[in-house]
Structure 1
Amino acid sequence: MKKILAAALTLLALAGCSALDRMMPAMVASDYYQKTQTGMPLERKYTAPGTFHTASQTFAGGRQRFKTYKVWYPADLPHSKQTYPVVVFANGSGVAYYKYEAIFNHLASWGFVVIGNDDSSSWDGSSTSQSLAFLQQQNQHPDSLFYRKLDLNRAGVSGHSQGGVGAINAVGNFANSHQFKALYTASTPKHALALALKWPYNVGKINVPYFMNAGTGPFDGGDGKDPDSGIAPLTSLRDNYARISGNGLTVMARRSHADHGELLYLPDGYMTAWFRYTLMNDSEAAQVFTGAAPEIRRNTQNWQDVQIKR
């Protein structure tokens, strides 16, 4: 069995990112949140758009590996006296920002400044670190729309698939990693697959609140016969969960009846709640993950294998 698994991983590695590309949606629809099934009140609330009207701007990346940044923000930011927490996204394989703009826009509607880029190889975290540094520069430049509008002490990072690896590496490997105060990943490839694809990561470096999830479908969860099969099987989640300590809060869960590509957008309500809680101290969003009966535990319609530790 180990030889068969090794051969399969090698074939996938030789195929590069293309095998993962085919599992991704061509585009996340602008009304995805209307079609997302929600199982509990808070999941429903945070899956819906927030109260902020939004705007966006595109900026030149000026780098060989990626050409463009795009930033989404509450439309009243230029006239506001408050500062806004930020969320940086690490792309999945073949999924540049323009393929899932609706998710960025959704998060901005909840009061965040959100940045994406068109990096197609996000695994090492460098483009994610550079995105955060770009926002830092904008926050310090008097001619920038974002001048003194960003709270870089409240920064979060999110990644799906290859982007999950990139988000983990962004939190642990760079000079500005300490600015990230919350981490979210979906369908992060298991270590054996990540190493076969030459995408190493080390969850032992994580020291911030972390919400990890994956799907139960066959691409993510495997065929049910081999517990280690699939891109992000339960064994991988449990292993990563067990390796983390001292970061305040770690949440592990699987989205039921959902597979790899769908994990880009189906958990969006709880991703939004996660950042609202960890970066904004939203007491209602906190109820999804904390207290005697966190909603995510009770939401058995959509979630399973939930574990929570501090």
Structure 2
Amino acid sequence: MKRLSRAICITLVSATALAAALPAAAQSVPNAPTGPVETQYYANGAYATTQTRSTVACDSKGNQCDVFYPTNIASLNTRLPLVLWANGTGSTADNYPNWLKHLASWGFIVVATRDQQTGYGNTVLDSLAYMQAQDTNPASPFYQRIDFAHVGAAGHSQGASGAANAMFHSVGVIKTTVTFELPNQNWCNPADNCLLTPTLTGGSGSIFYVSGTADSLIAPDTQSGGTQLNSQTAWYNATPSTMLKAKGLLKGANHNDITGTPGCGLLGFLKACANGVYGYLGYPTAWLAWQLKGDAVAGAAFKSGTGEFFTANAWQGRVSNIP
């Protein structure tokens, strides 16, 4: 996505102007949760977390992997679901520490290749193969600790494409995907570095499209013209009805809020994001808890038109086909 970095800079300028217009109180704890499911998963889970990095390459490009997991994994008497994380352009797990640790605190093992060009999804699948090998290695902390019947993927920007591509090319191993700020197809150069329409329309699994109302350039909700999938709404509508799917936009969030730590620091003289990761903690975690851990109460929050998600103060542009 050669054009994406220039677009991100424009988005950052817009975010700075927005932040300057907000009162101090609104900036302190933005996008606070309102309903019980969002509130539950907005908070950290019960587990202290550990981060480790592979000592060898974990993907076909020679990158290492970062793994986030519950610290007491060795003493747990159960296998844990696995989430594959795909970085945005030019990013690594270092850019998403709060989000990835948050998932681990809820009992997920999270693996993230350090590939900075993940759009094709191949290195995301490589990270899955790496964890499969770890599960069979008696010397690994992940030996017989991973539940490969419950694998999901998530990613940001180009990585949102990578996470979705990984799911659709995993032959059913990856069950669900959460895409943060999935770019319009017109940003993709080459085209197959994004999610291609035939790949989506022929796919299976489940998907939650997440963006922000201030991401009007790269991942807007409204179609920007042409026949390509150039909006979150277009992505959602093109997703087969046979797949469980949902879409929502976090109010005031821009392209980089998922990188909050948890708020937004400075990128040079610009603010790195608009509100921070806060609002992204609740429902995306709830979606993964439903799809990978069987939390039916979390799943009910996404029920079309009537679930808690549809009355949440921090969200708009919501739609789902969840019965």
TM-score in terms of structure 2 length: 0.79
Contact preservation (8 Å) 1:125, 1:166: yes
**How far off is 1:289 after superposition?**
0.9
Matching of residue 186 in structure 1 with residue 198 in structure 2: no
Secondary structure in 2 matching 1:178: coil
Matching of residue 204 in structure 1 with residue 217 in structure 2: no
**How far off is 1:34 after superposition?**
6.4
RMSD of Structure 2 on Structure 1 (CA)? 2.8
2-side partners of 1:289 and 1:66: how far apart? 39
Matching of residue 55 in structure 1 with residue 42 in structure 2: no
What does residue 212 of structure 2 align with?
Answer: 215
**Equivalent of 2:141, from 141, 145, 152?**
145
Matching of residue 309 in structure 1 with residue 305 in structure 2: no
- 1:257-301 Cα offsets, whole Å, 9 max, x none, are 2211125533221110000000001123123212772111111x2
2-side partners of 1:44 and 1:127: how far apart? 34
What does residue 3 of structure 1 align with?
Answer: none
**Equivalent of 2:281, from 268, 288, 299?**
268
What does residue 98 of structure 1 align with?
Answer: 94
CA gap 1:278/1:33 in 2 versus in 1, 3 angstroms: farther
**How far off is 1:238 after superposition?**
2.0
Q: Structure 1 residues 59-68 or 184-193, which shifts more?
A: 59-68
Contact preservation (8 Å) 2:49, 2:71: yes
Secondary structure in 1 matching 2:316: strand
CA gap 1:93/1:293 in 2 versus in 1, 3 angstroms: same
Letter in 2 for 1:203: L
2-side partners of 1:33 and 1:57: how far apart? 31
Q: Structure 1 residues 55-64 or 252-261, which shifts more?
A: 55-64
Letter in 2 for 1:281: G
Letter in 2 for 1:82: T
* Greater RCO structure (CA 8 Å; 6+ sep): 2
Identity of aligned residues (%): 25
- 1:14-64 Cα offsets, whole Å, 9 max, x none, are x54432554579xxxxxx996652233322221110011112221034257
- Residue correspondence of structure 1 range 119-158 to structure 2 within 5 A: 119-158=115-154
Secondary structure in 2 matching 1:129: helix
- 1:62-105 Cα offsets, whole Å, 9 max, x none, are 25735321111112211122110010101011221011122111
2-side partners of 1:185 and 1:267: how far apart? 11
- Residue correspondence of structure 1 range 20-99 to structure 2 within 5 A: 20=7, 22=9, 23=11, 37-62=32-57, 65-99=61-95
What does residue 298 of structure 2 align with?
Answer: 285
Contact preservation (8 Å) 1:17, 1:94: no
**How far off is 1:129 after superposition?**
0.3
Letter in 1 for 2:172: H
**Equivalent of 1:298, from 286, 306, 311?**
311
2-side partners of 1:53 and 1:33: how far apart? 25
CA gap 1:252/1:33 in 2 versus in 1, 3 angstroms: farther
- 1:115-167 Cα offsets, whole Å, 9 max, x none, are 11211100000111011111101111122111111001100000111011111
Matching of residue 239 in structure 1 with residue 226 in structure 2: no
2-side partners of 1:293 and 1:306: how far apart? 11
2-side partners of 1:24 and 1:56: how far apart? 29
TM-score in terms of structure 1 length: 0.82
What does residue 271 of structure 2 align with?
Answer: none
Contact preservation (8 Å) 1:207, 1:246: no
What does residue 4 of structure 1 align with?
Answer: none
2-side partners of 1:104 and 1:228: how far apart? 32
Contact preservation (8 Å) 1:60, 1:67: no
Contact preservation (8 Å) 1:249, 1:309: yes
